[in-house]
A = this chain, B = another copy of it.
Amino acid sequence: MNFANSALLTDLYQLTMLQTYYAERMQEPAVFELFARRLPPERGFLLAAGLEQALDYLENLRFATEELDWLAGLGRFSPRFVASLENFRFTGSVHALPEGTAFFANEPILRVVAPLPEAQLVESRLINLLHYQTLIASKAARCVLAAPGKLLVDFGMRRAHGAEAALFAARAAWLAGFSGSATVLAGMRFDIPVFGTMAHSLIQAHDREEDAFEHFAAAQPGNVVLLLDTYDTEAAAGKLVALAPRLRERGIKIRGVRIDSGDLAEHARRVRSILDAGDLTHVTLLVSGDLDEYRLRELLAAGAPIDGFGMGTRLDASTDAPTLDLVYKLQEYADRPRRKRSEGKATWPGRKQIYRQFTARGELAGDCLGLENAPRPGEPLLVKVMENGRRLVPPEPLDAIRDRVRVQLAALSPALRAGQGEPPYPVAIAPELRELATRLDQETH
């Protein structure tokens, strides 16, 4: 299914609104901004991610002939309107936070300026693309902060929500500082290191566990990581110790072991002792099984001798906070700022910029959400990345984004790094922005 750039990957109401815009010739420039209305209680910061895929989408967006035929057949749209979509292209400009930038509630991570129909149609897929990778990069960053220096690998493909989520989770976790992913296709597409051990099925398919270990080791002498918990974890570690000399004679070195069930801290301690006593001090110890940043902290606080963690389901579905309140709102149309005032959902109008201040030591000191044309002290974070529907710069190398994340995470306050949302990071609203909002509220509709 090649649908990722389909123009029909949108909500129907975008098309019904486009038909209105077409009928009324509403083609003036519209300014939409994409931001998180609030952070989940479980999050003190978010990391922007997914921009690369969002720009791909905008550059390649068009209606296929069979899609237009299908739309025409729906009976909802006038033939002239459907015909007008044939040449639909995104011709606007985009400002955005570079991927890997930390951001907070109400701060735009993307701004689209384009003729109203173009800026409108793309809403659903832009949110869809930026939402998921931002969700996962933010979750993965919390895992990285919880387990400094440890090997962290994305194991989540099977319970990610579909194929695209699996691929993008691998990318987002890599950006956030993971060591790699088990998802092979993510390795091929994004040049992310791939990791893999063995499953219980390989052990079960052999009559003797030690035969399974030996066969597996012989088949990939350079990458031997053995799974210990199919029947009895410590007994398996003992078998491994017994097997190691024979493997060594054949030139095969065991790199690591994995434990996937039971009391992971306790098993890790026992297995570490067995391995060390068996002259296998170099063998690393990986664990997996329903892990998230909370469990990582617990295991490390308990002093479990664990070298690496396979993070699956709870990473790829961001189980403790599976969605973000990310929205895309009209802030200006035809050179006039606009403001939605729905209860609990009012927006800050106009073209905004985030101005970020730093302490002398380089720590994030506070942001100001202001208007682009009324600069405030601090570094402006949104940069122009697309003009006339074309990227202004080539895709950013993922290593550069990883470096940015490293710098950003180190610049967070100790409370934010520790995964706490309190006290919240200070985001001030510039007086010019407050004045604009007040003025718009006083106008009647």
Contacts and interface: CB of A to CB of B under 8 A. Distances in A.
Interface string A1-25: 1111010111111111101111110
Interface stretch (A204-212, A276-284, A370-378, A419-427): A204-212
A157 B11 contact: yes
B67 A201 contact: no
Contact of A165 (B15, B161, B198, B199): B161
Nearest to A349: B204
Nearest to A185: B8
Interface of A: 1-4, 6, 8-17, 19-24, 26, 30, 32, 67, 70-71, 74-77, 116, 120, 123-125, 127-129, 131-132, 135, 155, 157-168, 182-185, 187-189, 194-202, 204-205, 207-209, 215-216, 218-220, 222-223, 229-232, 260-262, 313-314, 317-319, 322-324, 326, 329-330, 333-334, 336, 338-345, 445
Q: Tell me how many chains of this kind the complex includes.
A: 2
A168 B165 CA distance: 12
B219 A24 contact: yes
Contacts of A71: 184
Contact of A261 (B19, B338, B343): B343
Contacts of A215: 20, 23-24
5 contacts: A9-B166, A20-B198, A23-B215, A159-B323, A204-B333
Contact of A222 (B76, B125, B135): B76
Nearest to A340: B200
A343 B165 contact: no
| Residue among A202, A222, A318 with max Cβ neighbours from chain B (10 Å) | A202
| Residue among A77, A166, A323, A324 with max Cβ neighbours from chain B (10 Å) | A323
Given A71-B184, A261-B342, 16 more contacts: A8-B188, A11-B182, A11-B183, A14-B196, A17-B198, A21-B205, A123-B158, A125-B163, A161-B162, A162-B163, A162-B164, A200-B340, A205-B333, A232-B341, A260-B342, A318-B322
A261 B37 CA distance: 14
Contacts of A189: 1, 3
B116 A132 contact: no
A340 B162 contact: no
Contacts of A30: 201, 205
Contacts of A207: 336, 445
Contacts of A20: 198, 202, 215-216, 219-220
B163 A161 contact: no
Contacts of A16: 196-198, 216, 219-220, 223
A159 B128 contact: yes
A321 to B, nearest CB: 9
A250 B404 CA distance: 58
Contacts of A158: 11, 123-125, 127-128, 131, 326
Contact of A184 (B12, B120, B229): B12
Given A2-B1, A23-B215, A160 B319 contact: no
A359 to B, nearest CB: 35
A91 B58 CA distance: 40
A389 to B, nearest CB: 20
Given A23-B215, A164-B164, A182 B4 contact: no
A341 B262 CA distance: 11
A124 B157 contact: yes
A26 to B, nearest CB: 6
A167 B14 CA distance: 17
Contact of A2 (B2, B77, B120, B202): B2
